[in-house]
Amino acid sequence: MKVIRSGSAGFCWGVERAIDIASNFADQGRHPVYTDGPLIHNKQMMEKLTQKGIREVGDYQSKAKVEIAHQEKDKPIMVVRAHGISPERRKYLKNLVLEFRDATCPDVGIIAGKIKLHAKKGFSIIIFGDPNHPEAIGLMGYTEGKGYVIQTKEDIDSLPKLEQVCFVSQSTMFTHEFLELSDHLRKFYPEAIIIDTICGATKERQSGVIELADKGAEAIVVIGGKHSANTKKLALLALQQKLPTYHIETWDDLEIAEIKEFETVGVTAGASTPDFIIDAVCKNLEAL
């Protein structure tokens, strides 16, 4: 079988940076290394990190009370994952009696900075994103109580009458949807400040799916956690290319009898999928 692997598949630099920060502390003997919620949305990688002494505490949305337990001789540290957190959560974590290290993706930090700047100027902040996603939850903390998370045109229609408006996006959303919603928002707020804050890695992965179709892929395998937001978006985008799409976490999830019907298969992966899983899937596909 011919396998076309997307050049942008796998870890984005923000996720890789957060993993490196936590892993380096663990390698230096700093135990335990706590992370506020899962460091990465991939259970296979989380198992490897746990073996290194990296422990997930709190919850996925960075809302829950943190329960920590370590011995007096330990040198614990708290690492904030790439999704980022709200200022209130930051204050809470810093008040815990352990060292604090922020591994928020710099791209997410830039979005937070733009929100904070415009909120201080009196703007209402509209965020295109998932209201239950930790990144959107964290960004809302910078809106000074003047923030709204929207996903559809109907959500925009339901907004209260606002004065000055600034429109940004969670970093992992669809580019074409952001543009469509921007046009719709301008009907109500023609003077709105609109800032495309979808990160470059997300755009590369989305364009990579389209390239797989253009290069002759008859089906697309999307590798990543079943609950990973950016991976699910890649799978949806693959379906929109009108190609059979298989969203799997590992090789064991793939329906071999079905995939063997294709001569050329495209492979991509979400931003939280490690190379060792992608490599295994590609190798096994090529062997069919």
Number of Cβ atoms within 10 Å of the Cβ of 180? 13
Q: Which residues contact 231 (CB under 8 A, 6 or more apart)?
A: 41, 222, 223, 224, 225, 247, 269, 270, 271, 272, 273
The count of other CB atoms within 10 Å of the CB of residue 284 is: 16
- Which among 56, 88, 135, 204 is annotated as catalytic? 135
Residue 265 bridge partners (DSSP): 3, 219
- Alpha-carbon dihedral angle through residues 210, 215, 216, 222, given to the nearest 10 degrees: -50
Active site annotation includes 135: yes
**CB contact at 8 A, 249 and 224:** yes
Q: What angle do CA 106, 234, 125 make, to 5 degrees?
A: 45
Burial class (CB in 10 A: 0-12, 13-18, 19+), 75: middle
Instruction: State how far the alpha carbon of 234 is from the alpha carbons of 16, 151, 202, 207, 229, in Å.
Output: 19, 17, 9, 10, 9
Q: Which helix (H) or strand (E) holds 264?
A: strand 264-269
Burial level of 151, CB count in 10 A (0-12/13-18/19+)? middle
Residues noted as catalytic: 135
